[in-house]
């Protein structure tokens, strides 16, 4: 049996930001907390949102890190309560949107945030008391604006996911003009995250034909337009299709994703050489070729047919090596060619593998991956 949910109200298109006031009214947000990061503020995008809102001077939490942390979630939840807010508007990429979801949970539910994590069995404890969230994405990749999950690095260093339909944003304002001028490296990294979502969820063995169709269409859009969006930050058509591919990948990944995301979550939970944690989308791009090779060796009629359908969506020749095509795309986009360029070496493999095998994405990969399999994939990704 398949349980299929597509619940977020989406405004997709140029100048859709103008719909924000009526969406606030529709979902009952009168005193919003705006959640964002300092880069988005500096780019003037938060001011665009405030100008449209015409709601006085709502409090703004702009301390979202590149990977949301429990400490910042609690800080945002405290600001929410201090200002007697009744909803959150997330303005930014997946990190800001995930942090807003987690703050909406923390501000309305008692006890430790960790107790609500999926791996701790916490999903069932998340109720409809979660504060409403409106997501305004400024990148095209994570799809968090239409997803029921949020990823947070908790106090013990683990990167945990929180899943509940109550965490799903009530509204998504997807205005491609908010992605204009996004730096090429960030356009490429977030865009390849959308590609990986579409590919991994399509390969997931769960039965969900609508999700498969949405994922394939999203893959075609992303694969066709990502190079143009990366090379020209103001290409209207490319930006529109990338924003659509982003939300489509997330609409579809209720099926689950796979090993690339399990390893990316593990790698995203550790600091490398004392530096900020690694960018999630770039990690999935680097890891995806090895995972594609691993999954393709699971010989089955269904798997062979799925790879053939992906080749058609990507405009590749029959029998083409999809893993190599992804590697080539990464190179053309200027992304790292391997984990070593990102500061990762074999010394972290045992830690990464343990995290990956405990990650919820591990379970929805189309082929069971052992510790040895993960080590092989990581080695191939170096």
Structure tokens at 320: 């083409």
Q: Is 171 in the same domain as 114?
A: yes
Final residue in a domain of this structure, among 159, 178, 197: 178
Q: State what percent of residues in the chain have pLDDT above 70.
A: 96
The neighbouring-strand residues paired with 149 are 163
Res. 49: pLDDT tops 60: yes
Judgement on whether residues 204 and 86 belong to the same structural domain of the protein: no
Q: What percent of the chain has pLDDT over 90?
A: 86
- Report CA-CA distances (Å) from 28 to 131, 144, 173: 10, 21, 16
Domain for residue 2, yes or no? no
Which CATH number characterizes residue 127's domain? 3.40.50.1970
CATH of the domain at 274: 1.20.1090.10
* CB-CB neighbours of 173 under 10 Å: 26
pLDDT of the residue at 274: 52
Identify whether residues 134 and 194 lie together within a single domain. no
Which pTM was predicted? 0.93
Query: How many domains would you assign to the chain?
Result: 2
Q: Report the alpha-carbon distance of residue 3 to residue 31 in Å, rounded.
A: 34
Residues 59 and 116 in one domain: yes
Same domain, 71 and 122: yes
How far apart, in whole angstroms, are the C-alpha atoms of residue 182 and residue 146?
Answer: 21
Query: Do residues 163 and 217 share a domain?
Result: no
3 located within any domain? no
pLDDT tens digits, residue range 251-294? 998 899 999 999 999 998 776 555 557 889 999 999 999 999 99
Predicted confidence (pLDDT) per residue in 57-81, tens digit: 899 999 999 889 999 999 999 999 9
Tell me which residue range forms the domain holding 238: 184-380
In terms of domains, do 245 and 162 share one? Answer: no
Closest-CA residue to 291 (of 193, 196, 159): 196
Give per-residue pLDDT as tens, 182-222. 999 999 999 999 999 999 999 999 999 999 999 999 999 99
């Amino acid at each position: 049996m398949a349980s299929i949910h597509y619940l977020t109200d989406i405004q997709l298109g140029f100048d859709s930001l103008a719909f924000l006031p009526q969406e606030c009214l529709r979902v009952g947000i009168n005193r919003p907390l705006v959640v964002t990061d300092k880069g988005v503020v500096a780019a003037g995008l938060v001011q665009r949102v405030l100008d449209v809102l015409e709601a006085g001077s709502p409090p703004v939490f702009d301390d979202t890190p590149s990977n949301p942390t429990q400490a910042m979630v609690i800080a945002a939840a405290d600001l929410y309560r201090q200002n007697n807010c009744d909803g959150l508007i997330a303005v930014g990429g997946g990190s800001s949107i995930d942090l807003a979801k987690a703050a909406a949970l923390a501000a309305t539910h008692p006890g430790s945030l960790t107790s609500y994590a999926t791996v701790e069995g916490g999903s069932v404890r998340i109720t409809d008391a979660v504060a409403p969230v409106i997501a305004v994405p400024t990148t095209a990749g994570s799809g968090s604006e239409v997803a029921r999950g949020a990823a947070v690095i908790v106090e013990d260093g683990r990167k945990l996911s929180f899943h509940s339909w109550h965490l799903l944003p009530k509204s998504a304002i997807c205005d491609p003009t908010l992605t204009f001028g996004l730096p090429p490296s960030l356009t490429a990294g977030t865009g390849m995250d959308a590609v990986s979502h579409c590919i991994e969820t399509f390969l997931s063995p769960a039965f969900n034909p609508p999700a498969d169709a949405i994922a394939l269409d999203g893959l075609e859009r992303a694969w066709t337009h990502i190079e143009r969006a990366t090379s020209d930050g103001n290409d209207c058509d490319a930006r529109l299709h990338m924003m659509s591919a982003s939300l489509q990948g997330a609409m579809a990944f209720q099926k689950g994703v796979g090993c690339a995301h399990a390893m990316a979550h593990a790698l995203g939970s550790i600091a490398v050489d004392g530096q900020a944690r690694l960018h999630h989308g770039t990690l999935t791009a680097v890891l995806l070729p090895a995972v594609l090779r691993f999954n393709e060796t699971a010989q089955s009629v269904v798997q062979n047919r799925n790879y053939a359908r992906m080749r058609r969506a990507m405009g590749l020749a029959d029998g083409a090596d999809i893993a190599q095509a992804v590697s080539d795309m990464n190179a053309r986009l200027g992304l790292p060619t391997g984990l070593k360029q990102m500061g990762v070496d074999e010394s972290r493999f045992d830690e990464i593998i343990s995290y990956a095998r405990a990650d919820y994405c591990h379970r929805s990969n189309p082929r069971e991956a052992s510790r040895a399999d993960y080590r092989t994939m990581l080695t191939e990704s170096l």
